[in-house]
Amino acid sequence: MKKISLIGAGQIGGTLAHLIAIKELANVVLFDIDEGIAKGKALDIAQSLAVDGYNVKLSGTNNYEETKDSDVIIITAGVPRKPGMSRDDLLGTNLKIIKQVAEGIKDTSPNAFVICITNPLDVIVMALQKYSNFPKEKVIGMAGILDTSRFKHFIAEELNSEIKNVNSFVLGGHGDTMVPVPNRTTINSKPLNDFIKDGSTTQERIDSIIDRTRKGGAEIVKFLKTGSAFYAPAASGVAMAESYLKNQKKTLPCAACLNGEYGIKDLYVGVPVIIGEKGIEKIIELTLDADEQKSFQTSIDAVRELFNAAKKIDPSLT
């Protein structure tokens, strides 16, 4: 059995543990600075597995030694948003936390595939790679799958289609400047634009879906009041871990460190990548039209600006 360690046993961490267990994907170690949360959730989920006879071991800890030699590490340690906050407001606090996490994992699991979920995502995953010095193809951020599933969900509702027949990508940074690409969206292999042409929907309605997708996280924060989304973020993180552990080579939109692709170097941004047993095996370069390119550039500028803010907080990141 493979080993997945979850750093952060809060809302997403607990849901990740449950999903991993009922897929029998790996044994799970839940790590949290609050040892009681990690131990309590591990025990509760382990006992739930007895109901259906799933064969997975779970444990909870606040000691990095127990995460030793993990195949995959998924990081959600940090604070989530409260109503009215932007993801960027979390930067100062979560940067300090991610530095501690990098210290904790770098010697204990040097060969792990590391998936970061902590916000503000693109900058935190970039800081994590720099603090840990893990290979860039082994450090990846989860955001694009979540943003894409939100877009796909709204499109499926709008066109009364089964979700599995909707295909799309959301690119760019995980923030208000993210870039849903309606031109690359198909429903039953039919381009989304054709549904506008035949009157099934309108450009205005698609524009409002794009806007709702961009604000999809905030919509949930407002409903929950005490935290942010966790079911869909956890499902997205598990899809990445599964593609790596089973060498599925799925193409998934994730935050990856670009090395010249899309004309960008040394910056983590959301793009489609192939995840297999080597980690990020390929970054897919889509040809963007002028509007998409412009929106993508705006998103990249926003990520770069926030990383500059991070460097001011911690000059060791330069």
Residues engaged in binding ligand A3D (CB under 6 A) = 7-13, 32-34, 37, 76-81, 90, 94, 97, 100-101, 117-119, 121, 142-143, 146, 174, 227-230, 233
What is the DSSP pairing of strand 190-191 with strand 186-187?
A: antiparallel
In angstroms, give the least distance from the CB of 231 to ligand A3D: 10
Q: Which is nearer to ligand A3D, 36 or 263 (CB)?
A: 36
CA distances to 14, 16, 28, 239, 276 from 11, rounded to whole Å, are 5, 9, 16, 18, 27
In angstroms, give the least distance from the CB of 137 to ligand A3D: 20
Give the whole-angstrom CA distance, residue 232 versus residue 85: 20
276 - beta bridge partners? Answer: 279
Q: Which residues are catalytic?
A: 174
Q: Which is nearer to ligand A3D, 124 or 187 (CB)?
A: 124
Residue 48 backbone zone (phi > 0: left; psi -120 to 50: alpha; other: beta)? alpha
- Give the nearest residue (CB) to ligand A3D: 10
Give the whole-angstrom CA distance, residue 129 versus residue 102: 8
In angstroms, give the least distance from the CB of 90 to ligand A3D: 6
Q: Which is nearer to ligand A3D, 146 or 209 (CB)?
A: 146
In angstroms, give the least distance from the CB of 214 to ligand A3D: 13
In angstroms, give the least distance from the CB of 125 to ligand A3D: 9
Q: Which is nearer to ligand A3D, 8 or 60 (CB)?
A: 8
Q: Which is nearer to ligand A3D, 125 or 187 (CB)?
A: 125
